[in-house]
Amino acid sequence: MRHILEDPPRLDLPAPSPEWAYFFDLDGTLVELAPLPSGVHGDAELRRLISVLAQATGGAVAVISGRSIADIDRIFPGIRLPVAGQHGVERRTHAGDLRRHLFPVELLDDARRSLALVIARYPALVLEDKGLSLALHYRQVPHLASYAHRVMNRLSDRLGTTFCVQTGKRVVELKPAGRDKGMAIREFMDEVPFAGRRPVFIGDDVTDEQGFEVVNAYGGLSIKVGRGPTRARRQLAHVRAVRSWLAQDSPFLAAQSAGAETVRQ
């Protein structure tokens, strides 16, 4: 991936519009990072905010995440969103159709066995098996970062070009090559209700850069959460700022939210 910035992202943001199509990374964007992937849960405020946004936009809201679709659904109980999981390897459309890109996933079996030995030696490392990809988290042991990357790079070399290494915030992942979040956004943008809208993508990590690039090409709004070199054109400081921008600075969302509260009462 070519690196990344000529001009720093601007902090000013227009108010959200119901005419846009919204794409969100999850960890570090809508929810705070946690020591373990399983420690992340969607709170009531987030579920309400996403539900109201989906209603206001006619359903043009999707989560684009490295997590599996099953894990995304766990974080959003009772809300069946369009989602792209495992960096776009699997995707659920607005209509509910599940689409998976075919890879020889049985090749990962040898990598699983090797990583089980790694975890036995360093139990503070966390292996997240997503079915179509494997992520090795070193958030609890950052001093093992170099070791974790060496392990995954060696496994990738053994598997050949079908799989590749994807880095992230204190995680390194072995995933099918040829799929990324940008490609997932393009696929959604060819479908109802996203087609013809201005896309917005908010993310915080290097895994989101392809998504920023695609959204920029559409003339959309790319928003980086936190600092660091990026292709995003705008910036928000943290998860709380993302939620504040969506909820408090948006007249149409405020009206929708008030209506939802009235119905519940």
Return the active site residues: 25
Instruction: Please list the alpha-helical segments (H only) found in the chain.
Output: 44-56, 69-75, 108-121, 145-159, 181-189, 209-217, 239-247, 251-264
Phi, psi torsion values for 235, nearest 5 degrees: -145, 140
Cβ distance 239 to 31 under 8 Å?
yes
Give the tokens for residue 96.
């509910």
The rounded distance, in Å, linking the Cα atoms of 145 and 139 is: 9
Rounded Cα distance, 163 and 189, in Å: 26
**Quick check: 220 and 231 in contact, CB under 8 A?**
no
